[in-house]
Every structure is written in structure tokens, then in C-alpha cells.
Amino acid sequence: MTQIISIANQKGGVGKTTTAVNLSAALAKLGKKVLLVDCDSQANATTGLGIDKPSLAASLYQGLIGEAGIEDIILPTMQPKLMLVPANVDLIGFEVEMMSAPRREARLKELLEKAPDFDFIIIDCPPALSLLTLNAFAACDSVLIPLQSEFFALEGLGQLLDTIKRVKHSFNPGLTIKGILLTMFDKRTNLSQNVVDDARQYFNDLVFKTKIPRNVKLAEAPSYGLPVMMYDKQSQGSKSYVAFARELLRR
């Protein structure tokens, strides 16, 4: 049975797309069939997997507005077992065009219901609580929240949790929180450890044991259009995401 996970945090720069790309690649490396859905008009996940956005004949936008079927917009990637539904700047139009459309919050759910069999569908959400994020939450089984190990990390998290609760009540009764992943962790600083301690105090077992470190290779890999385990599999970033994928599978 396919497990659909949205990766979301309304704050930008928390490692959301990095997590979407590298968790997807790590799960594929561990033998799972994975579909990554780029649900962000910035389309950084698309670029991070080496897809040339201007050359796309169709993207998630065409799927959401009904101009293309899911089979028309799924692309292979360089990572075996990992497929991608790409995005580009056209996705900005979805918010405007669908604002008064019936069942506008269910467009992504209806699109993914026609997808081929995958073990996991990972949705990279935009860094805002928008109609696209609402579509992702309505379509998924659970939400994974990357939390950067920095000052103000917990600020705004309550708003995200409130949105998840509202979606659960209104559109998706089965929606759960998959967990909280600490990103950009720097073991040399007290601040990072303080954020870890605070997160575990507030959220207990929701916080994954694996922490994603600050890592140069993680930052470099997207510019080469590769997940970090294909760019440098010996890097700490690569090893951390494989460890996280294993922990996710156990959970």
C-alpha cells in the first residue's frame, strides 16, 4: 500500500526540499519505489534532480488543472526506482485560477489516486500555508516537518500544527504527523543542542533520533542536479539521510 508523506514547514530555508530530494533518493536506494512530487512553484526539487524546467512539455500544473494525466507528467530520474512529478513557474497560476473552483483542495488527491503503484509518494510543499499546501495535506497520509537547529526554530510551528489539525477535521480525517526531523544540526554549538532539547521536551517521540548535519556536500549536490548520495555517497549528509530513511522505515 502506498504511503504518501508531505514534507512541510511554512518557514523557508529549513531544509525542506533538501529533505524531500534526499529522503526520496535514500528510500529508492534502499529498494523502495518512490515518486517525488514537486508541489512548489520555485521547483527546486525539480532542479535538484537534474530536470531542465524550461524544456518541460507538462508539469504538475497541467495535472492539477486537468490538462494532463498523471502518467503524462511522471519523469524518470538518474536514481533507479525514483520518479518525479516536476514543477515550474506555471504552478503559480494554480493558486489564482482555482481559487473559486469546486473541490479545489482535492485536485492533487484526485491526481495521485490514478498514479501507478509506488511504495512511497513524497510531496515537497511550498514554504507557505497556501492552496498548494492544503492540496498536499488533503492528499497525504502524514506530514513530516523539518525543523532547523537554529534560533526561532520553534516559532511558527504552532501555526503549522493548527493547519494540520484543521485539515484533519475538514478534509482528511486520517492525517497524522509522521514526525519532526532536526536539520542543519551543528554539534559544535550549544544553540543546536538547545533546539534539540526543546523539541524533544515539547514533542517527545515525534522527534526522529537521526539529525541532519550542516554539510557542504548537501549544499553542493543540487547545483549538479543530483541527490547527495549520488554526488558524494561517503559524505556525512549522504550517510545521515540513509540513516534517516532506515529510521523512517522502522517507524
> Residue 186: which CATH number?
3.40.50.300
Give strand ranges (E) for 80-215: 82-85, 120-124, 142-148, 176-185, 207-213
Q: What is the pLDDT of residue 188?
A: 81
Among 81, 79, 74, residue whose Cα is nearest residue 33? 81
pLDDT of the residue at 71: 96
User: Strands, E, within 17-62: which ranges?
Assistant: 34-38
- Residue 107: inside a domain: yes
Please indicate, yes or no, if residue 245 is contained in any of the structural domains.
Answer: no
Sort 251 into a burial class: Cβ within 10 Å, 0-12 / 13-18 / 19+.
exposed
Range of the domain at 175: 3-153+167-238
Mean pLDDT, residues 173-201 taken together: 90
Quick one: pLDDT band at residue 82, thresholds 50, 70, 90?
very high
63: exposed, middle or buried (C-beta count within 10 Å: 0-12, 13-18, 19+)?
Answer: buried
List Cβ neighbours of 22 (8 Å cut-off, separation of 6 or more): 218, 227, 228, 229, 237, 238, 241
96 pLDDT band, cuts 50/70/90, is confident
Rounded-to-integer distance, Cα 216 and Cα 237, Å: 8
248 part of a folded domain: no
Reply yes or no on whether the pLDDT at 186 is more than 80. Answer: yes
